[in-house]
């Protein structure tokens, strides 16, 4: 969940800076500067990394039959999130100040030293976060208790959560019952699976006041 939220926050910042780059007056000023470098990393590197780790933590128990350590996972997330923001957020400011990209060096009189120092510190933190993740994987692989249930999260939707962790080679001994787009959830929560679509829609309408709002309009 944390990495999913981190993905959304990072992509939001990258999207907003993309809108800024679409404005000719701003683009004329920051084109080929560190502002573009920062925007690129927010939209490509940041989003991919956060989404990748979110998926890894989610499916790791299904792959291995063991849960990753929650405390180490939180440390890993905050190290990645803070390290990434410190590394690349300040590069927007460097680009606005006029630091060009693809330059190997710059003069002290250019005024870019402080921003690059902060960015370097963030990059070291971002790199160190990988050590926390690797230790979590190693520790989990060696000593974490085995997952005894099919779905340790309790709300898995797709079929992989309807079999053991990890799945056997043949996946299923019999064909699972598939009556919706969320067969594993239906199997784990039959009290909700038995409610057909029209009844579910009526329950939703009663909850949010859908028909009432429609009549008012």
pLDDT at 147: 81
d(C-alpha 137, C-alpha 152), whole Å: 18
CA dist 48 and 57 (Å) reads 14
Predicted confidence pLDDT, tens digits, the chain (217 residues): 899 998 899 889 888 888 888 888 888 888 888 899 999 999 888 888 999 999 999 888 888 888 888 899 999 999 999 999 999 999 999 888 888 888 878 888 788 889 889 999 999 999 999 999 999 999 888 887 888 887 788 777 777 777 778 888 888 887 777 777 777 777 767 666 655 555 555 655 665 565 544 444 4
Residues 85 and 56 in one domain: yes
130 and 205 in a single domain? The answer is no
Alpha-carbon gap, residue 31 to 153, rounded angstroms: 46
Domain boundary among 143, 172, 207: 143
C-alpha distances (whole Å) from 59 to each of 67, 109, 144, 202 are: 9, 50, 15, 34
pLDDT at 212: 47
The verdict on 91 and 197 lying in the same domain is no
Residue 117 included in any domain: yes
User: Is the same domain home to 169 and 137?
Assistant: no
pLDDT score, position 217: 46
Residues β-bridged to residue 100: 33
Closest CA to 176 of 165, 160, 197: 160
Q: Give yes or no: residues 37 and 93 share one domain.
A: yes
Question: Residue 131: which domain range?
Answer: 2-143
Q: Residue 133: what pLDDT? A: 93
Give domain status of residue 167, yes or no.
Answer: yes
Q: Is 52 left (phi over 0), alpha (psi -120 to 50) or beta?
A: alpha
Determine the Cα–Cα distance for residues 62 and 175; give it in Å rounded to an integer. 19
Confirm whether 150 is domain-assigned. no
Q: How many domains does the chain have?
A: 2
Residues 107 and 166 in one domain: no
Q: Are 146 and 66 in contact (CB under 8 A)?
A: yes
Q: Out of 90, 110, 143, pick the residue that ends a domain.
A: 143
206 shares a domain with 123:
no
Boundary-marking domain end, from 109, 143, 177:
143
Indicate if 118 and 175 belong to the same structural domain: no
Domain shared by 43 and 117, yes or no = yes
In a domain, 155, yes or no: no
- Burial state string for 142-168 with b = 16 or more CB within 10 A and e = fewer than 16: eebeebeebbbeeebbebbbbbebebe
> How many Cα atoms occupy the beta-carbon half-sphere of 130 within 13 Å?
6
| 134 lies in the same domain as 211 | no
| Whether residues 11 and 67 fall in one domain | yes
The reply to whether 111 and 177 lie within a common domain is no
Helix H, strand E, coil C: the string for 41-85 is: HHHHHHHHHHHHHHHHHHHHHHHHCECCCHHHHHHHHHHHHHHHH
């Amino acid at each position: 969940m944390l990495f999913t939220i981190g993905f959304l926050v990072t992509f939001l910042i990258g999207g907003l800076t993309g809108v800024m780059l679409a404005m000719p007056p701003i683009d004329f000023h920051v084109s080929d500067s560190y502002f573009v470098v920062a925007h690129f990393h927010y939209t490509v590197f940041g989003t991919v990394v956060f989404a990748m780790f979110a998926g890894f933590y989610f499916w790791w128990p299904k792959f291995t039959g063991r849960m990753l350590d929650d405390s180490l996972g939180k440390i890993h997330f905050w190290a990645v999130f803070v390290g990434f923001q410190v590394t690349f957020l300040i590069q927007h400011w460097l680009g606005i100040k006029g630091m060009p990209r693809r330059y190997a060096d710059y003069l002290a009189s250019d005024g870019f030293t402080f921003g690059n120092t902060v960015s370097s510190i963030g990059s070291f933190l971002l790199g160190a976060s990988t050590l926390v993740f690797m230790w979590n994987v190693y520790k989990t692989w060696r000593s974490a208790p085995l997952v005894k249930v099919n779905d340790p999260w309790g709300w898995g939707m797709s079929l992989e959560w309807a079999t053991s962790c990890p799945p056997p080679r043949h996946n299923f001994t019999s064909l699972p019952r598939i009556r919706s787009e969320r067969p594993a959830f239906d199997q784990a929560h039959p009290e909700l699976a038995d409610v057909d679509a029209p009844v579910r829609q009526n329950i939703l309408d009663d909850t949010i006041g859908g028909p009432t709002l429609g009549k008012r309009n």
